[in-house]
Amino acid sequence: MPVPAPSALLASFELRTPDGHCIHVRQCGVDGGQPWLVLHGGPGSGCQPSMAAWFDPLRHRVVLPDQRGAGLSRPAGTRRRNTVTALLADLEQLRTALGIERWGVVGGSWGAALALAYADRFPGAVAALVLRGAFLTGFDDVQAMFNARGAGRDLLRGIDRRREGLPAARGRLLAVSRVLQGGTTVQKMNTAMRWQAAERHLLGLAGRGERQGWQQRTAMLRKYQLQAHYLYRRAGLGKSTLLMAAARIGRQGVPVTLLHGRADRVCRPGNALRLQAAMPQARLVWVPGGHLAAGEMAQALGAAIRASGWSVAARRLAFGLVDPAVDGIA
């Protein structure tokens, strides 16, 4: 894919919300290009520059916001006023601020769950969905991470694992969350580092990764504090809620592409099958490999985005350039 000329790059900016958050937004591509919104995973991870490579810089206008508390958004790592309802409101505020009527939405992992919630809440704003490695926010979806015999064994070391009558995954997540929120600085940092190691194990990444300085470790801690905040509460969604949302999206006929790694150990392949059952119009593509948006998965994302382009008339409508009644596309 060609590297865009500097004139084709759009400036980053900060979107201030009515309740005091500052959302960092990157843009790339061309100003008049087909608009696409990218929703990062985590929760708490932030958008990465590599995500822009999925798009054609001469054809697309790509909007990459860091969700509340994540990435370069401020206040960094905050859980205050940080709910899925607020995230959805932020996306609508962003769309309105940019003057975009409808856009395609790409979401991976947690971002796929948020994309489904957004398309259900604001159906008129979404022209197409591309969902990678979908996370459905059920407690069974976090079981592997907090399984005492699996990847979570080291994560749970030294933590009080009393379940207090809660299901296993939720009780273990609660124990970890309490340390991340209320432990000493050393306890918090050690727990975040063990979470990262457990995550790397599930992703199939060898070793502990690069040595991190204090700033990087602080960002890592904020990420997992925010992630625990959302996971324990099922992000205010839950699997049944998301599947019902998917069914409504299916009835609306929104073009949907589901991409899922055959060997995904973070978000199990059964999630894609459940979504396809709820949205029969969805195209399901199995991709070799695991959960990460790299290699063949990155290529599949680019192909799905290119194949999801909507009509020229609808594209002009997205920018408010036509009257749908006059142009006969209402």
Residues designated catalytic:
109, 264, 291
Q: Return the amino acid letter for 222.
A: R
Helix (H, G, I), strand (E, B) or coil at 259: strand
Helix (H, G, I), strand (E, B) or coil at 72: coil
Residue 158: what are its φ and ψ, rounded to 5°?
80, 5
Taking each helix axis as running N to C, give the angle between helix 214-232 and helix 168-182, from 0 to 180 degrees, rounded to the nearest 10. 140
CA distance 179 to 261: 32
Burial class (CB within 10 angstroms; exposed 0-12, middle 13-18, buried 19+) of 111? buried
Residue 219: what are its φ and ψ, rounded to 5°?
-65, -40
CA distance 59 to 139: 40
Chain position carrying tokens 């900016």:
13
